[in-house]
Amino acid sequence: MRDTVHIHDDDLELYEAGHLEADHVPALEAHLSGCQECLVRLHCCLGRQLEALRKSHGGQGRLSLARMPIE
């Protein structure tokens, strides 16, 4: 049986934040298109980021991303 190399958590977090080096993005996206495990882990990264944003805004109600400043 062949071992599958998965995307490192750091790279998933960089990708999710839009900070992954541009030349790495196509290979990462190609891997995500065929790897359910890494796709689930990416969704977990996004969930952690949204939870951190919610907490940083006092955890009050819904967080409106439309009102978030764009860096």
Residue 10 CA, chain-centre distance (Å), reads: 10
Tell whether 27 is covered by a domain: yes
Assess contact for 17 and 25: CB atoms under 8 A: no
Number of domains in the chain: 1
- % residues pLDDT > 90 (the chain): 45
The domain of 46 spans 9-57
User: How confident is the model at residue 36, as a pLDDT?
Assistant: 93
User: How confident is the model at residue 13, as a pLDDT?
Assistant: 87
For 17-43, what is each residue's pLDDT tens digit? Answer: 889 999 999 999 999 999 999 999 998
Tell whether 45 is covered by a domain: yes
Tell whether 63 is covered by a domain: no
User: How confident is the model at residue 66, as a pLDDT?
Assistant: 53
Identity at 55, one-letter amino acid code:
K
Assess contact for 45 and 16: CB atoms under 8 A: yes
Tell whether 67 is covered by a domain: no
